Amino acid sequence: MSDSRSRVMQRDAPRTIARNGGRPSEQPNERAPAGMLSRLSGAIVEQVRRQIPKADLHERDPDYLRDNLPWLWLLASFYFRAEVRGLERIPPRGPVLLVGNHSGGNMAPDTFIFVLAFSSYFGVERRFFQLAHNLVLALPPLRHLRKGGTIAASWENARRALDSGSALLVYPGGDYEVHRPSWESSKIDFGGRKGFVELAIDKRVPVVPVVAIGGQETSLFLSRGERLATLLRLDRLLRLKVLPISIALPWGLNVGDLAGHIPLPAKITLQVLEPIDLQAEFGDQPDADEVHEEIVGRMQRTLEGLAAERRLPVVG
């Protein structure tokens, strides 16, 4: 690519990273060349959209989970030496919004460990869904995750899951938080995304924070690569605000993490916090900013406590 061309791309790319609740940026891109680049963008976006499955809550199959729990248990118990505390705090029935911090790049172990823990504790029969980035479910090898209760992250899907009386796990920080540098391991960073608070207020469901540590030690995460993502227009095309750079097995230098990596066997600890009844704690019309700040604050204090317990990286 010539210098002049790359300068054009830089100039056209949005200068700020959208942190608006995971919704696509609404900045008009008036200066985009109307040529091949935008046609190509349109084609890619259309392809990806076509691949995103519509959420059908009945695709979740308890027997699929029953078949898969043993190997998840093996991986969690012997590879990650996972410890999950406080599951008894989760209301035993009814809809609940579980809010987690997300760590470990595209091979984030906290998700499957929590799915294992929740399904073992309450039984595979309890309806439980997890919101995932659209791209995750668009990838053919990962489509089977739908049987385990994974649905594409959208307002409609989230509302539908809670309306059906299910537990719903969300990671507000998503791709932004999961690729944070390893030295920010003990930082809750939702990137300002507050959609989950609005969802909980709207649906009047309890929020149960789930704090995890250890994921950021499964590789050496160096940078989110936000500038690189913007430069390549990935935020517009694929809702990817990052193009992470890490040192990971078996690649060495790992740019993008699109093919995943082999996570190091870091000890993973999860702590479930007390449920928060938003209306009881913050009044009938809770202020989303205040609620967000309070929830992030509680999670941050818990994460710092978990970090203080760790003596060595990876070993735990």
Partner 1 sequence: MRVEKRTTVDAPIGQVWAFIARPENYESFMEGITSWEVQGEQRTGLGARYATRMKVGSAEIGGMIEIVEFDEPYEIAWTSVLGIDQRGRWRLHERDGGGTNVTLRLGYHTEGGLLGAIAERLAAPIVGTNLRRSLEELRRRVEHSARIVMR
Residues within the interface to partner 1 (CB under 8 A): 63, 66-71, 73-74, 76-78, 80-84, 87-88, 113, 116-117, 120-123, 125
Q: Which is nearer to partner 1, 72 or 243 (CB)?
A: 72
DSSP codes joined into one string, 205-269:
--EEEEEEESGGGSSEEEE--HHHHHHTTHHHHHS-----EEEEBTTEEEES-TT--B------E
Write down the least CB distance from residue 192 to partner 1, Å.
Answer: 33
Write down the least CB distance from residue 276 to partner 1, Å.
Answer: 23
CA 217 to chain centre: 17
Q: Which is nearer to partner 1, 84 or 151 (CB)?
A: 84
3-state DSSP percent of the chain in helix, strand and coil, to 5: 45, 15, 40
Burial class from Cβ neighbours inside 10 Å (0-12, 13-18, 19+) for residue 30 reads exposed
Residues whose CB is less than 8 angstroms from the CB of residue 195 and which lie 6 or more positions away in sequence, other chains included:
21, 22, 23, 155, 172
The number of CA neighbours under 13 Å toward the Cβ of 116 is 21
Euclidean distance between CA atoms 291 and 268, whole angstroms:
27
Q: Which is nearer to partner 1, 71 or 183 (CB)?
A: 71
Write down the least CB distance from residue 269 to partner 1, Å.
Answer: 10
Q: Which is nearer to partner 1, 56 or 67 (CB)?
A: 67
Write down the least CB distance from residue 316 to partner 1, Å.
Answer: 13
Peptide bond just before 244 cis, omega within 30 deg? no
Write down the least CB distance from residue 167 to partner 1, Å.
Answer: 14
Write down the least CB distance from residue 238 to partner 1, Å.
Answer: 33
Q: Which is nearer to partner 1, 78 or 183 (CB)?
A: 78
Write down the least CB distance from residue 210 to partner 1, Å.
Answer: 15
Q: Which is nearer to partner 1, 82 or 98 (CB)?
A: 82
Q: Which is nearer to partner 1, 25 or 120 (CB)?
A: 120
**Angle between helix 195-203 and 288-309 (nearest 10):** 120
- Radius of gyration from C-alpha coordinates of the chain: 20
